[in-house]
Amino acid sequence: MTVPGELLLYCRPGFEPDLAAELADKAMALGWQGEADITPDAGFVRFITAGDMPANALHRALPLASLVFARQSLLALPPLSLPREDRLTPIIDQVVASGWSFESVWQETPDTNEAKALGSLIKALKRPLESLLKKRGALRRKAGGRRLHLLWSDGDQVQLGMSFPGNRSELPGGIRRLRFPHRAPSRSTLKLEEAWHEFIPRDEWDERLGEGMQAADLGAAPGGWTWQLVQRGMHVYAIDNGPMDKGLMATGLVEHLREDGFVWKPPARLDWLVCDIVDKPSRVVAMVQRWLVNRWCREAVFNLKLPMKRRWQEVAHCLSGLESALADAGVRHTMSCRHLYHDREEVTVHVRLLD
């Protein structure tokens, strides 16, 4: 079996330099050498390990859940340029030559408008592709849960990658599509819902997002995030100078306080802090840090807005500052940060206190 020499990671178009910078930093910290190959707005990044360093160890050492800007992480073979009259043969040959076998095949495209036009090609190739792979023994019932991914960036450009259970997104394109709840006051509501799917296992929702819990929503208006908390039956302090949605206020579960979210203190320990204030990331982090060090909440979800150019550097700086402040204060916790599908120029951070 050949060991592939590169990683292929999907991201939001426009965030390739951020993902590349993140990968370079994290790989270097682990003692790996390699280089990111990016095309602006392509929606993916290749990370090619130096010399004959096998990429599979790096793939395991950088789990998808630990990466901020990646939506999907694959161990990949070199990209293929295909003749239009026979696209399948080079694909099948590359799979067979690699010696790997798979339980399923996913054909995907980057999250770009141009790539969406490839839908009919992908559909037409599905059955012949699967039947040829089966015939050649590369697609079988048992293959360690491995999945083969074909990332089509054009009608004649494809890159093959593989994913492994426990270190991949189980969603096509790594994208969690959510239906907009029509009674919610703003589209931002989907950011908090996606954050819960991302950070809280479904079987823990009743315990960690339970009825009767208490939450604060800083920068709450018009109420998209508060709406999610209220849907779970929580009591919410909604902190914002702006107006809150009337229907939401009529539930009786929301107390609207026209105060400054950066200085407001809760009257007692709460279960949740959520914050979607548009301000400098360092200012938001300093405020959340005060909440966590004082244990004013058990869990927090907050967004860091990233209008600047060097987004990875900003995120890394904020997260490492928060990590060390919590360590200095002896606050045991878990922390994750992800660029969610419903996030635009921002990332979402989740912190859970352990004591």
Among 188, 193, 322, 348, binds ligand SAM (CB under 6 A): 188
Closer CB to ligand SAM, 141 or 182, in the complex: 182
125 binds ligand SAM (CB under 6 A): no
The contacts of residue 119 (CB under 8 Å, 6+ apart) are 109
196 binds ligand SAM (CB under 6 A): no
Positions 205 through 264 that interact with ligand SAM (CB under 6 A): 218-225, 239-242, 260-262
- Structure tokens of 47? 């990370």
- Structure tokens of 22? 């993140």
Closer CB to ligand SAM, 70 or 192, in the complex: 192
Residue 272 C-beta: closest distance to ligand SAM, Å: 14
Say how many Å lie between the first and final Cα of the chain, rounded: 46
250 marked as part of a ligand binding site: no
Closer CB to ligand SAM, 144 or 242, in the complex: 242
DSSP E strand boundaries for 23-180: 34-38, 44-49, 72-76, 80-81, 104-108, 147-154, 157-163
Q: How far is CA 134 from CA 102, 103, 105, 125, 130, in A?
A: 10, 10, 11, 14, 6
86 marked as part of a ligand binding site: no
- Structure tokens of 208? 């960690």
Closer CB to ligand SAM, 169 or 189, in the complex: 189
188 marked as part of a ligand binding site: yes
Across-strand partners of 107? 150
281 binds ligand SAM (CB under 6 A): no
Closer CB to ligand SAM, 49 or 188, in the complex: 188
Across-strand partners of 250? none
37 marked as part of a ligand binding site: no
190 binds ligand SAM (CB under 6 A): no
HSE (side-chain half, CA atoms, 13 Å) at 227: 23
Instruction: Tell me how far apart the alpha carbons of residues 214 and 75 are, in angstroms, rounded to a whole number.
Output: 43
139 binds ligand SAM (CB under 6 A): no
- Residue closest to 285 by CA, chosen among 330, 237, 319, 332: 319
In the bound state, the residue with its beta carbon closest to ligand SAM is 224
The window from 59-67, 107-115, 272-280, 342-350 that contacts ligand SAM (CB under 6 A) reads 272-280
Active site residues: 305
278 binds ligand SAM (CB under 6 A): yes
267 marked as part of a ligand binding site: no
287 binds ligand SAM (CB under 6 A): no
Residue 3 C-beta: closest distance to ligand SAM, Å: 45
Instruction: Tell me how far apart the alpha carbons of residues 11 and 33 are, in angstroms, rounded to a whole number.
Output: 22
Instruction: Tell me how far apart the alpha carbons of residues 39 and 50 are, in angstroms, rounded to a whole number.
Output: 19
C-beta separation of 231 from 213 below 8 A: no
Which residues contact ligand SAM by CB under 6 A?
185-186, 188-189, 218-225, 239-242, 260-262, 276-278
Binding-site members for S-adenosyl-L-methionine are: 188, 221-224, 240, 260, 276
